[in-house]
A and B are shown apart, each in its own frame.
Chain A
Amino acid sequence: DAGITQSPRYKITETGRQVTLMCHQTWSHSYMFWYRQDLGHGLRLIYYSAAADITDKGEVPDGYVVSRSKTENFPLTLESATRSQTSVYFCASSENDLGTQYFGPGTRLLVL
C-alpha cells in the first residue's frame, strides 16, 4: 500500500528554470493539496483540488501552476523558479473536504 508519494525528494535548481514536483496517491481520494513549509510560517496552502479537472487557489498560489488530469496525480509546477520558492513542499490527500489529510514525505527544493 504505497499511500501518497512525492518525487523528487530533493531538488536543486536555478532561478528562472521550470520545475515540476510530482504527487501520486493510491487511495482514490477526491481531494488533494499542495503546501509549502517555511520556518516561521508553518504550512501554507498553495493550491488544492476537489476532483480531477477541478483546482483552486490557496493562500500562496503566485508563481505556481497545478493540474489534475487524473484523480491520483496532482503535479505542482514552478513556471520560473525564484529564490523565495526555496522550501519544503508537502502534498496531501483526503477523502472529502472536511476529512483527515494524509501527507506525503515532502520535497526539499533549493533554488539558487
Chain B
Amino acid sequence: AQSVSQHNHHVILSEAASLELGCNYSYGGTVNLFWYVQYPGQHLQLLLKYFSGDPLVKGIKGFEAEFIKSKFSFNLRKPSVQWSDTAEYFCAVNEDTGNQFYFGTGTSLTVIP
C-alpha cells in the first residue's frame, strides 16, 4: 500500500517567515499529488494539485509546491506566511492506477503575529 510521510508534525513560525513543509510518498509509478488545508473548525480545502506537466505548481493564497520525482517528494512552500495561514496541512497522493487517495498524517502550522 501507498504511504505518505509528512515529517514535520508541528511547525511554529513568525509572520513573514518562509515556509516549507515536506511530503514524501512511496509509490514508484505515476501519481497525482495534492495539498489540502484545514483551517480551525473547517473542512478540508484544496490548496493545489499536480497531475502532469510543470513540476512547480502554484496554488491559492500564495502557496506553491514542487514535484521532484527522483526524491518522491512534493514539498509545499510559501515565501512569507501570514497569521491567517495557521491551519493543518495534509499532503495526499492518488495512484494513477487506483481509486484510493492516501493522506499524510498532517502538519500543524501555527503562525505567530
Flag if A43 contacts B103 (CB, 8 Å).
yes
* 9-residue interface stretch from B13-21, B39-47, B63-71, B74-82: B39-47
Count class of interface residues, chain A: 20 to 34
Contacts of B94 in A (CB 8 A): 97-98
Interface size on B, residues (CB 8 A): 26
Main secondary structure of the interface of A (DSSP, over half): strand
In the complex formed, the residue of B with least CB distance to A48 is B99
Tally of A-B residue pairs with Cβ under 8 A? 53
Give CA–CA (A26, B92) in the complex, Å.
Answer: 24
* 9-residue interface stretch from A14-22, A64-72, A76-84, A103-111: A103-111
Flag if A33 contacts B101 (CB, 8 Å).
yes
Residues on B lying within 8 angstroms of A by beta carbon are: 1, 4, 6, 32, 34, 36, 42-46, 49, 51, 90, 92, 94, 96, 98-106
Query: What are 22 A-to-B residue pairs whose CB atoms are below 8 Å?
Result: A35-B103, A40-B105, A41-B105, A42-B4, A42-B6, A42-B90, A43-B103, A45-B100, A48-B100, A56-B99, A59-B1, A59-B100, A90-B43, A90-B44, A92-B44, A97-B99, A98-B32, A98-B51, A100-B34, A101-B46, A101-B101, A103-B43
